[in-house]
Structure 1
Amino acid sequence: MKLDIIDKEILKHLQADAHLTTKELASRLNLSPTPVYERVRRLEKEGIIKSYVALVDREKIEKDLMVFCNIRLKEHAQEAGAKFVQQIVQLEEVMECYNISGEYDFMIKIIVKDMREYQSFLMNKLASLANIGSTHSIFVMSEIKYETAYKVG
């Protein structure tokens, strides 16, 4: 699907505020609500808009520690890698997981309350996964930039 300027504007506005009604969105775009409604539904149907979420301030819910953990697998066979992925996505502390190139095989982003909770996660959950060869943890001291909206067009 090719995005035109109106589609891109819709995406820009909805990424900034997903609470916008069709009427409010149409007003910002100087269009009538019906074509805006149809465009938004098409963007959803095509999978360009995947979902609508509430972004939560993690510190206000006592999730103060962010850790990036690089993981090297012992075995790189397809079945072993698939089993690792299946297991890692089940861990609620893991917010993001990336298969990466270089010295490590995966990078995960972990959010927990504090160092004690991270230690428990590391020892009781992560270390229990069979195919992990080694890990390297990087602790975030402060978050400088955090964006959720993609520049479109």
Structure 2
Amino acid sequence: MDQLDIEILRALQDNGKQNTKEVASKIGLTLTPTYERIKRLEQKGVIKKYVAILDRKLVGKEIIAYCQITLHKHQKEMIEVFKKHMYFLDEVMECHHVSGNFDFLLKVAVDDMGSFQVFINDKLATVDGISTIHSSFVMDSNKNTTVYTL
């Protein structure tokens, strides 16, 4: 990646909806080379996808919780089974295998506390191999970004 690629990525991180002409104008390049660079960045997997970032409260997700999960066993098979289960739970927005005092950190979004209770009791607690679940609830967020420093 060169400096022009980085400028393209910065522009798209700021607004992924802008068209190639707008990006080209911002970076001082003509349309065709800008288009080709964007396509190359997509093909290499640097740009994974384009998404709309929603206001969670306006779509009814009032509760964000971080769940710290400890597994009974730290075997590769158990870890892979857990990851697969988490992939299919709609409430789980992020699932990270981490080091430290617990094995996984989940970011969970639900409508309300009743929905969280149903998620814990009827979905998460039924997954084989979980030893402990500790949850913390977001009270306020002062920074929430998807932008990487380049």
TM range (shorter): over 0.9
Deviations 1:118-153 (A, max 9, x none): 00100000000011000110011011100011111x
Q: CA deviation at 1:102?
A: 1.1
Q: Is 2:6 the counterpart of 1:8? A: yes
Match of 1:143, SS? coil
Pick aligned residue for 1:145 from 130, 143, 146? 143
Q: Could you tell me how far apart the structure 2 residues matched to 1:118 and 1:92 are?
A: 12
**Aligned CA-pair RMSD:** 0.7
What amino acid is aligned across from residue 142 of structure 1 in structure 2? D
Q: Is 2:99 the counterpart of 1:69? A: no
What amino acid is aligned across from residue 80 of structure 2 in structure 1? A
* Residue of structure 1 equivalent to 2:42: 44
Match of 1:135, SS? strand
* Residue of structure 1 equivalent to 2:85: 87
Match of 1:59, SS? coil
After TM superposition, list the pairs within 5 Å mapping 1:110-121 onto structure 2. 110-121=108-119
Q: Could you tell me how far apart the structure 2 residues matched to 1:108 and 1:146 are?
A: 16
Q: CA deviation at 1:111?
A: 0.3
Match of 1:96, SS? strand
What amino acid is aligned across from residue 69 of structure 2 in structure 1? I
Q: Could you tell me how far apart the structure 1 residues matched to 2:27 and 2:103 are?
A: 44
Q: CA deviation at 1:80?
A: 1.3
After TM superposition, list the pairs within 5 Å mapping 1:117-132 onto structure 2. 117-132=115-130
Flag structure 1 segments of 5+ consecutive residues without an equivalent: none
Q: CA deviation at 1:29?
A: 1.3
* Residue of structure 1 equivalent to 2:20: 22
What amino acid is aligned across from residue 99 of structure 1 in structure 2? H
Q: CA deviation at 1:32?
A: 0.7
Q: Could you tell me how far apart the structure 1 residues matched to 2:87 and 2:140 are?
A: 25
Per the normalisation by structure 2, the TM-score is 0.98
Number of residues paired by the alignment?
Answer: 150
Q: Percent identity?
A: 43
Pick aligned residue for 1:101 from 95, 99, 106? 99
Deviations 1:14-59 (A, max 9, x none): 0111111111111111211010000000000110000000111110
What amino acid is aligned across from residue 57 of structure 1 in structure 2? D
What amino acid is aligned across from residue 149 of structure 1 in structure 2? V
Per the normalisation by structure 1, the TM-score is 0.96
Moved over 6 A (4+): none
Pick aligned residue for 1:135 from 133, 136, 150? 133
